Amino acid sequence: MAATGLFGGTFDPVHFGHLRLATELAEAFHLEKVIFIPAGLPYHRGRDAHATSEERLTMLKLATARDARFDVDDRELRRGGNSYTYDTLAEIRAERGPGEPLVFLIGTDSFATIDTWHRWTELFDLAHFAVAVRGDDQNWLAKGPGIFPREAWPRLTLNPRDLQAAPAGKVMTFAMTPLAISSTAMRALAAEAGSLRYLTPDPVVEFIRSRNLYAPARDLREAANPATSR
Ligand code: ATP
C-alpha cells in the first residue's frame, strides 16, 4: 500500500532544508504524498520576532504550491494553542484506517529529544519515523544514533522496505544532502536586513520582505512612530 509522509514543524519560516528533506525522504521511502503540518503556538518562543500562524501557513503554501506531491494540513493551527503530535497522528490514523503506512519525517536534532514528547512511546503505534541527518547537527556528527533515546534503538532498521511492509513502528535514518539552513538563523538574518534569497523559494523571500517579518520589535516601533526614531 502506498505510504504517506507527514512532516510536522514550526516552519517559521519554511526553508530549502525542509523542502529538500521532504523530497529526498519521499523518494527514498516511495511516499505518494508528503503532508506538511505546521505546529500550533511554538512553546519554545525565543527572544527574536516570530511570524503568526497565518503567516507561517501562507509561507508553507507559497513554498509547496508547485509540487504536486506536497500538501499542507492546517489542523494544528485550527486547534489553537500547543498541539500534541500524538493527537494529530491519532486523528490521521483514524481517518486513514489501520493498514496505510504513515511515515513521520523528522530531523536528527528533533528525534534526539522525542522522549520529551507527549505519549512518545505510543507514537510508534501510529507511524514510522524517517529521520534525516541534519547537516548542522554537531551532536549527531559526534555520537550518531547514540543521541536517540535508548528505547527507540530496537526500532531502528537499515531497510527502507520495512517502512512499506507495516503501517507503523520502525525508525530509519537517512543521510540527506547536508543543508545547514535553520529558521533561527534566517530570522536573525532578516532582523539585520540581510538577504534570504536562495535559502527558501523566492515567493517566500518576497512575502517576508513585503510583511517586514522578523524585524526586531524596536524597528517596528520606529516604523509606527517615526517621530521618536533617532
Ligand atoms: P528553528 O531554527 O526555529 O528551530 P528549524 O529550521 O529547525 O527551526 P523546524 O520547523 O523546527 O525548523 O523543523 C521541522 C523539522 O525539520 C525538524 O524535524 C527539523 O529537525 C527538520 N529540519 C529543519 N531544518 C533542517 C535542515 N536544514 N536539514 C535537515 N532537517 C531539518
Q: What is the pLDDT of residues 220-230, one digit of tens each?
A: 544 454 443 33
Bridge partner list, 200: 197
Q: What is the pLDDT of residues 89-134, one digit of tens each?
A: 999 999 999 999 999 999 999 999 999 999 999 999 999 999 999 8
Q: Mind listing the domains of the chain with CATH numbers? A: 3-175 (3.40.50.620)
Nearest to 201 by CA among 174, 172, 223, 181: 181
**9 Cα to the center of ligand 1, angstroms:** 7
Residue 16 predicted with pLDDT over 50: yes
pLDDT value at residue 136: 82
* Residues shown for the chain: 230
CA dist 149 and 70 (Å) reads 30
**Amino acid identity, position 66:** R
Q: What is the pLDDT of residues 167-192, one digit of tens each?
A: 999 999 999 999 999 999 999 999 99
3-state secondary structure at position 171: strand
Is pLDDT larger for residue 43 or for residue 168?
168
**127 Cα to the center of ligand 1, angstroms:** 19
**14 Cα to the center of ligand 1, angstroms:** 9
**109 Cα to the center of ligand 1, angstroms:** 8
Q: Is residue 40 a contact partner of residue 76, using CB atoms and an 8 Å limit?
A: yes
Q: Is residue 201 a contact partner of residue 62, using CB atoms and an 8 Å limit?
A: yes
Ligand 1, atom 21, residue with closest C-alpha: 107
3-state secondary structure at position 8: strand
Exposure of 110 in the CB half-sphere (CA atoms within 13 A): 19
- What contacts 8, CB < 8 A, 6 or more positions away? 37, 38, 39, 76, 85, 88, 104, 106
If one residue of 34, 110, 147 were mutated to test the ligand 1 pocket, choosing by the most ligand atoms within 8 A of its CB, it would be 110
Ligand 1 pocket residue status of 13, Cβ below 6 Å: no
For residue 38, whether the previous peptide bond is cis, meaning omega lies within 30 degrees of 0, is no
- CA Rg value for the chain: 18
Least confident of 42-56, 72-86, 114-128: 42-56
If one residue of 20, 23, 139, 183 were mutated to test the ligand 1 pocket, choosing by the most ligand atoms within 8 A of its CB, it would be 183
Nearest to 14 by CA among 202, 215, 210: 202
Ligand 1 pocket residue status of 17, Cβ below 6 Å: yes
pLDDT value at residue 203: 98
